[in-house]
Each structure stands twice: as structure tokens, then as C-alpha cells.
Amino acid sequence: MQFFIEVLVGGLLSGVMYALVALGFVLIYKASGVFNFAQGAMVFFAALTFVGFQEVLPGWLGLEADSGVVFWLAFLLAFIAMIVLGIATERIVLRPLVNQPHITLFMATIGLTYVVEGIAQMTWGANVRGLDLGIVDEPIAWLMDNYEIGVSKFDLFAAGVAASLVALLALLFQYTKVGRALRAVADDHQAALSIGIPLQTIWRVVWAVAGFVALVAGMIWGARNGVQFALTFTALKALPVLILGGFTSVPGAIVGGLIIGASEKLAEVYVGPFVGGGIEGWFPYMLALAFLLFRPEGLFGEKHIDRV
């Protein structure tokens, strides 16, 4: 039983990390209808930029490498880089493709994936780098002693970050002018345009926010597994989360992430041995697929009604 709970909690917490990546997809899809495959590359780009600045800044400014100033300055610079990337994407890729079919936009973001990966590695090199957030990846002693359940501090920290990020986004969406405009655009492009909401500004904001989410996701994933090219594959982890939760729903991304994370780990432990292991690559997809057969729009997706 303890083992089961341990696996379950571990799964739920890693699900939070999937949800972090899925969140970026949802934001962009909601506001601009673009299925942004480049989100994984953005996560990689953001993490690499952050670590890169962390490496070069002490030399430039003559500061200690582990000082807080360097950390936050690197964070700020990486965020600015993500904003620039977002604006450039809007300007160069999306604007000329307005009104094209969804598949064309999707393909363009696959192209964007290659460009972003190339730029990231060209600027900072392809070495695997460590990223230290100051939180050790070890079980919480109190839970271990009293209940013999190993829950990593780091996972808990990641969950906390994700929760505060979602809360922050919810506040942004609900209580600011930009947030209202964002929701209007997500609801109906035409109507939003006709009451004077600048579509392109909104898109830039959304890409910048998605860039911020990518930065946070990249830092957490990077601290976990090292900042390396494999970070781009986080996108593939996020896709089943997306279709399970629904492309257009922020809560869906979180709930989907939890479901996928938990069931993936449980399946790996309890089903995996019977079929030879290594099933985490496809199991989330199969689960999401089976789920979609009952709810074709995912858990919280908008119901699509066809009219002839």
C-alpha cells in the first residue's frame, strides 16, 4: 500500500511537470488557434538561455557565480529573450499566415521548432548543462520517517511552482484589462476585432506569456534532468495531456497532467513488467485515445458543433 501511494504521488507530481509544458500549448491555442508544436523547443531555448546567461554574467559583471543577483538577472534576460522570440514569431511567421488553414499554421510551428532548436544550440552550444535551483532531489524526511513514503522535495517544489503559476495566470485572465482582451479574443476573433481589441498585440502578449511559462517549465525540467536537447521532447509528453484535458482549457491541462502522470507511473510499475517495460512512451497516448472515444473534445474542451 505504501508503495502504491508512493508511486501514485510520484506520478501526480511528475504529472504537474507535464502540465507545466501543456499550459504553454493551451495559452497559444486558446488565443490564436495555433497548435504550437514549437513549445517544446521554446522550453529548451528558454532553459538554455537562462543557463547560458548564468554562465557568462559573472564574467561580465564581476559577480560571484552563485549570487542571487546573477540568478535573477539571468532569469530576467531569459524572459526578455522569450519575449523577443514571441514577438518575432508573431511578426515573421504568424502574421503572413493569417487565415490559412490550421494545418498550415501547425506545419509552420514545426518549421519554427527546427529554427528555435538551431538558434539555441548555435548560440549556447550543445553541451549538457546542470541547473541548480537550490532544492535537492531527495525524499522529505518527515514523511519518510513517519509513513515510509518517499516524496521528493523537488517534485513538491515543482508542484508548488505550477500551482502558483496557474493562480497567477488565472488572476491575469480574470482581473486585468489585458486578460479580459485575451479572453475576448479566445472567444471570438471577429467580435474582438470589431470592438477594437488589437489582435496582433494580444497575440504578442500571449506568445510572451507562453514564453514565460516555457521558461519556468524549462528551469524545472532542466534542474531535474539537466539542460539538454532532450528537453524538446517534453512537448511529446505534453501532447497526450493536451488531448485528454482539451486544447482550450487551462484547468484541463492541469487535470490532464495529473491523470496522465499518475496512470503512466502506475502502469509502468504494475503493467510494465508483463509486457517488457518501456511503455511510458506510448501508454499516455493510448490512454488519451481511449478516453477521447468517449469524450472527443477532451475533459474540458469546448464542444464542437458542426453545422452544414
Residue 300 CB, shortest distance to other proteins, in Å, is 13
Residue 295 CB, shortest distance to other proteins, in Å, is 9
Quote the distance between the C-alpha of residue 45 and its chain's center: 12
Among 17, 27, 185, 243, contact with other proteins (rule: CB under 8 A): 243
Whole-angstrom distance, CA of residue 126 vs CA of residue 6: 35
Taking CB under 8 A as the binding criterion, the range among 60-68, 76-84, 214-222, 270-278 that sits at the site for other proteins is 270-278
Of 185 and 242, nearer to other proteins (C-beta) is 242
- The x, y and z cell numbers of residue 165, run together, are 503559476
Q: Cα–Cα distances in Å, from 221 out to 27, 150, 207, 243, 305?
A: 19, 20, 20, 21, 38
Among 68, 118, 130, 198, contact with other proteins (rule: CB under 8 A): 118
**What number of other Cβ atoms are within 10 A of residue 117's Cβ?**
21
Q: Is 275 in the site for other proteins (CB under 8 A)?
A: yes
Taking CB under 8 A as the binding criterion, the range among 142-150, 160-168, 169-177, 287-295 that sits at the site for other proteins is 287-295
Among 143, 165, 292, 299, contact with other proteins (rule: CB under 8 A): 292
Q: What does the buried/exposed string (b/e) look like for 34-59 if buried means 16 or more CB atoms within 10 Å of the residue's CB?
A: bbbbbbbbbbbbbbbbbbbbbeebbe
- The x, y and z cell numbers of residue 87, run together, are 514577438
* Residues 86-105 close enough to bind other proteins by CB under 8 A: 92-93, 96-97, 100, 102-104
Among 1, 59, 62, 122, contact with other proteins (rule: CB under 8 A): 122
